[in-house]
A and B are shown apart, each in its own frame.
Chain A
């Protein structure tokens, strides 16, 4: 048992050697080249990294405190699931998880690369190997997870209690699936540049990777937002925190990439642009890792910080952006293609989509890094808060949402589909109806709120009109089969776009109609909040598996005093970590959440309670789930190619 960590460490070194060979192999003479060998190297690296991760997992599960990392971040009394998730609840372990996913994607690519031209597949694997070896070197040199302690403590220091949570156990793996999945789009793009040809077939190969990475990233961000919502106890679901922005930027770039890959596949256009987006998306994933891991920016999430590590990632980042861009400057001009699309075409709509999404990415980038730059230049410390993002990001994204109705009713290359006018008519009607309805229900609203409601109506009715038109072309008896015969990618688009409307519904419901109150209350008090009331029944002390609690029992009542349910917000004291956390009590309903938080206090001065009603808020995450599902649907099924595809390589 003692030697398992050393085996893990050794496996990691061997994986580094394998990845390095994989990265360098194409440099050898052409007679040594073998796609099979490269694939085997990739699979070997995968197996070795898996072994290494299993060894670390073993250390955490068996609470082997002679491993420094386990001693610092685990505790023998922790529930098993948090021992397991503790493996990646720290810098070294999360980096290893990053690499695990990197080799997993590389391995899947190696196994499915046989339809690709040999040279192209080999170069993709080589780039993937270069990225893998860079991260393995980072792990081995600056953040080895397997360091031993000379004197093993009897007990570990525990995992930050805020991180002992199911949402956060799943959030990093999903987010990393997204970040790292984009590495394949990156490798395919660089390989395409090296080969010097990007064509429609390239689009077909890249699409599944882009879509699966995008879907995972969507779920990962949604899980993080959901976690912040119920765990931080502030009732919010998005704080424009640098760490959140770090995951939003690659998502925006990948959203643009997902749409432009479509144009490459369908039309053989936008090739240079797509290559740039692939490089940008993965670079922003690296920036995301960099921000979180270097502790560069102040953030509620920065539980790991070490500047020297930051410099290493910065080095990787410069190489990952600089080398491909140099290649691009050299090979890019060869990618130009004759453009025969008219201005009124889906092609141009997708170009606009891309421009808008890239501008939105730039806005988030500016807001995230401006404080850092200003501090470097003038030593002034500032924060860029949510008002900046509300004033810039929201209006820019509004254009993207407007386009979501128009783009799908334009035809490829030239002209509109026959129902362009009726669809836009329906969308305008929807916008007007919901704006008037919102005004009538909620009273005077801000310009932003009115615009948001208008967009919701525009999207919903516009998309319904388009869908209805698709189905109406067929007699009623055939409609069901028509639904079944719509190709999966079309369903993917529908689901993705509807998901956006659902998300907007949730965001507006919470943003415009939420109510909240903060009070100091004694047991027996009744606190009114919008159309309901909370009765403070009792305060109790309880014992959890590795914490003790102070629990407030609140009965939720309607206006007539009829009980609707009970909420029990807690404060938890973790003796091992000597920390306190707040556990909000949430009563989730489709119509909205009731949300209660217990603050400070004692029996003499009373207890501070924060109570919220958050209409429709669950739809935010429901919408994100629909979007991710849409992304997955769009992987399935092959779009018929418009022109005959030519082979690369």
Chain B
């Protein structure tokens, strides 16, 4: 095989690999991105069982715990939804704490399989902080 044909074969093989990988990546990306919304941004599309991340503050006095199942409200002050989560809650889960829950709506109840509250007491997940700032309800650093 001449060097030119050889180079051509390698380039074709690499191109095919690249195209396959790009196609794979694009499909996977389309199927696996998860949108983040706050309660007031929830629309009918989100209610139709699409997988999303719902973030907000845990409403005061809303936490109910039954065995390993926790039920609580998240709010961004203009809208509130109830979340149900079966599993272990993070260390910093408490009233007034900003959290992110990942899961899907079943009617208007949000069934989560993951609840994140980040490590630091004064830390607010970035998405929540930004959307609260947009709505003017962000009150600066959380305090004890």
Contacts and interface: CB of A to CB of B under 8 A. Distances in A.
Interface of A: 160, 162, 298, 300, 303, 338-343, 348, 351-352, 355-356, 359, 362-363, 366-367, 370-371, 380-385, 387-388, 391-392, 395-396, 399, 518-520, 571, 578-582, 597, 599-600, 605, 608-610
Interface stretch (B42-50, B71-79, B103-111, B121-129): B121-129
Interface of B: 1, 3, 6-7, 9-10, 13-14, 17-18, 21, 24-25, 27-29, 31-37, 53, 65, 67-68, 86-89, 91-93, 118-121, 125-127, 144
A391 B24 contact: yes
A367 B88 contact: no
Contacts of A396: 21, 24
Given A359-B17, A363-B25, A605-B65, A600 B89 contact: yes
A415 to B, nearest CB: 13
Contacts of B17: 355-356, 359, 399
Contact of B29 (A298, A303, A340, A370): A370
B91 A581 contact: yes
Contacts of A362: 21, 25
B58 to A, nearest CB: 13
Given A384-B34, A396-B21, 9 more contacts: A160-B120, A340-B3, A367-B29, A384-B32, A392-B25, A578-B121, A578-B144, A582-B91, A605-B65
Given A298-B127, A340-B3, A579 B36 contact: no
B70 to A, nearest CB: 9
20 contacts: A160-B119, A338-B3, A339-B3, A343-B9, A370-B33, A381-B37, A381-B127, A382-B36, A385-B34, A387-B28, A387-B32, A388-B29, A392-B21, A518-B87, A519-B67, A579-B119, A579-B120, A599-B89, A600-B88, A608-B88
A580 B32 contact: no
A371 B34 CA distance: 10
Contacts of B121: 578-579
Which applies to chain B's interface (DSSP): helix, strand, loop or mixed?
A: mixed
A541 B10 CA distance: 66
Contacts of B34: 382-385
B21 A580 contact: no
Contacts of B119: 160, 162, 300, 579, 581
B86 A381 contact: no
Nearest to B38: A381
The 8 A-B pairs of least Cβ separation, nearest first, read: A599-B88, A381-B36, A391-B28, A388-B32, A387-B32, A298-B126, A580-B91, A382-B33
A384 B91 contact: no
B35 A382 contact: yes
A355 B14 CA distance: 7
Contacts of A381: 35-37, 127
Interface centre among B29, B67, B120, B144, by most chain A C-beta atoms within 10 angstroms, is B29
Contacts of A385: 32, 34
Contact of A366 (B13, B25, B31, B65): B25
A352 B123 CA distance: 45
Contacts of B10: 343, 348, 351
Given A343-B1, A518-B86, A608 B68 contact: yes
A366 B17 CA distance: 17
Given A359-B21, A396-B21, A342 B89 contact: no
A359 B93 CA distance: 40
Contacts of A581: 91, 119
Nearest to B41: A381
B125 to A, nearest CB: 7
Nearest to B5: A343
A396 B53 CA distance: 28
Contacts of B9: 343
Contacts of B33: 370-371, 382-384, 388
A532 B127 CA distance: 42
Contacts of A600: 88-89, 93
A86 to B, nearest CB: 16
B1 A342 contact: yes
A363 B35 CA distance: 20
A282 to B, nearest CB: 23
Contacts of A298: 125-127
A230 to B, nearest CB: 15
B21 A363 contact: yes
A519 B6 CA distance: 62
Nearest to B122: A578
A303 B120 CA distance: 9
A366 B68 contact: no
B3 A388 contact: no
A359 B87 CA distance: 37
Contact of B6 (A342, A363, A608, A610): A342
Contacts of A391: 24, 27-28, 31-32
A387 B32 CA distance: 6
A605 B86 CA distance: 15
Contacts of A384: 29, 32-34
A380 B46 CA distance: 14
A359 B28 CA distance: 15
A362 B19 CA distance: 12
Interface centre among B1, B9, B37, B68, by most chain A C-beta atoms within 10 angstroms, is B68
B113 to A, nearest CB: 12
Interface centre among B9, B53, B67, B125, by most chain A C-beta atoms within 10 angstroms, is B67
A392 B24 contact: yes
Contacts of B7: 339
A602 to B, nearest CB: 10
B88 A300 contact: no
Contact of A352 (B13, B25, B120, B127): B13
A67 B36 CA distance: 40
A395 B89 contact: no
Interface centre among B18, B21, B87, by most chain A C-beta atoms within 10 angstroms, is B21
A339 B89 contact: no
A300 B118 contact: yes
Nearest to B21: A359
Contacts of A387: 28, 31-32
A300 B88 CA distance: 18
A396 B27 CA distance: 14
Given A160-B120, A343-B1, A600-B93, A359 B18 contact: yes
